[in-house]
């Protein structure tokens, strides 16, 4: 394990750890509460810590399952591992099968969108509802210059693995309410990515962004996009941070084209870490959604 949850981090993240071994590596996940299951999937460079406020409240009425993708959070960080979208989806399939999850509500953010919808299109019978934060599960050529720079061969590896540019960039840019990013919260986001070796998945996620057909995730995302229509009649809640520098209004517009009947809440004062910025409003909206849909 790359770090231990203790001290001030334990106060922010007071959850029991669970592990599933997959092909010799341990996938960490939270399994809190009882009732209808919620599967919350994070992106890069966050981890299950991102959903801590939602878990603390929603576990009172639901079963909250929150994995750390391989290479992230408290999961193992093997150096020679296929960190691709296809593999991350397969890991979620293994976890859902292991826990025998049915009637799932998927809660998706960042890379969690493509991973979660990758699972969903393969197992639509297991999915009841969708809650979509700033993310994508369709092809797009839009990317911030700073993130594209991190895809540059050699330079990207130096920036992300030597200087921790991706995780540091997240705590500096992705949360718009600066008072939320206290030293303790900042340390929580950065804790899993505390060495060159432990930043391997941060880099591999960036390298797997499906901008060009030769990228391994490209065909996977193309297939997911072609089957999003399977969920046109599902209850869907879209919650969007409107100050997101990465998943901006263009991505929200595309989701609303794909799911025109979805409920939608735009949060004008929230950025990419929308849950960190506005978890109080989000909890009210999610509870109302669950009660009515």
pLDDT digits 0-9 by tens, 35-70: 999 999 999 999 999 999 999 999 999 999 999 999
How confident is the model at residue 3, as a pLDDT? 79
How confident is the model at residue 73, as a pLDDT? 98
pLDDT digits 0-9 by tens, 183-216: 999 999 999 999 999 999 999 999 999 999 999 9
pLDDT digits 0-9 by tens, 99-124: 999 999 999 999 999 999 999 999 99
Average pLDDT over residues 78-104: 98
CATH of domain 16-292: 3.40.50.1820
Dist. CA 140–CA 254, nearest whole Å: 10
Average pLDDT over residues 118-134: 98
Q: What is the value of pTM for the model shown?
A: 0.98
Is 90 exceeded by the pLDDT of residue 4? no
Question: What mean pLDDT value characterizes the chain?
Answer: 97
Domain segments of the chain as ranges: 16-292
Dist. CA 207–CA 211, nearest whole Å: 10
């Amino acid at each position: 394990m790359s770090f231990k949850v203790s001290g001030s981090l334990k106060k922010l993240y007071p959850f029991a750890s669970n592990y599933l071994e997959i092909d010799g590596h341990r996938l960490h996940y939270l399994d809190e509460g009882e009732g209808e299951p919620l599967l919350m999937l994070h992106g890069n460079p966050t981890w299950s810590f991102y959903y801590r406020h939602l878990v603390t409240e929603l576990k009172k009425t639901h079963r909250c399952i929150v994995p750390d993708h391989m290479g992230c959070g408290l999961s193992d960080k093997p150096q020679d591992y296929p960190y691709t979208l296809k593999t991350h989806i397969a890991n979620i399939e293994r976890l859902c099968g292991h826990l025998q999850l049915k009637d799932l509500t998927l809660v998706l953010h960042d890379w969690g969108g493509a991973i979660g919808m990758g699972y969903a299109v393969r197992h639509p019978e297991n999915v009841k509802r969708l809650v979509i934060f700033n993310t994508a599960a369709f092809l797009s050529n839009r990317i911030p210059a700073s993130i594209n720079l991190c895809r540059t061969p050699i330079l990207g590896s130096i920036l992300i693995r030597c200087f921790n540019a991706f995780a540091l960039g997240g705590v500096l840019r992705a949360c718009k309410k600066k008072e939320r990013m206290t030293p303790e919260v900042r340390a929580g986001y950065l804790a899993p990515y505390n060495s060159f070796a432990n930043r391997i998945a941060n880099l591999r996620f960036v390298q797997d962004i499906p901008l060009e057909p030769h990228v391994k995730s490209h065909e996977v995302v193309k297939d997911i996009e072609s089957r999003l229509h399977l969920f046109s009649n599902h209850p869907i809640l879209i919650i969007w941070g409107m100050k997101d520098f990465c998943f901006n209004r263009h991505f929200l517009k595309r989701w609303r084209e794909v799911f025109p009947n979805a409920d939608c809440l735009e949060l004008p004062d929230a950025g990419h870490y929308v849950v960190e910025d506005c978890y109080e409003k989000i909890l009210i909206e999610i509870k109302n959604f669950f009660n009515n849909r």
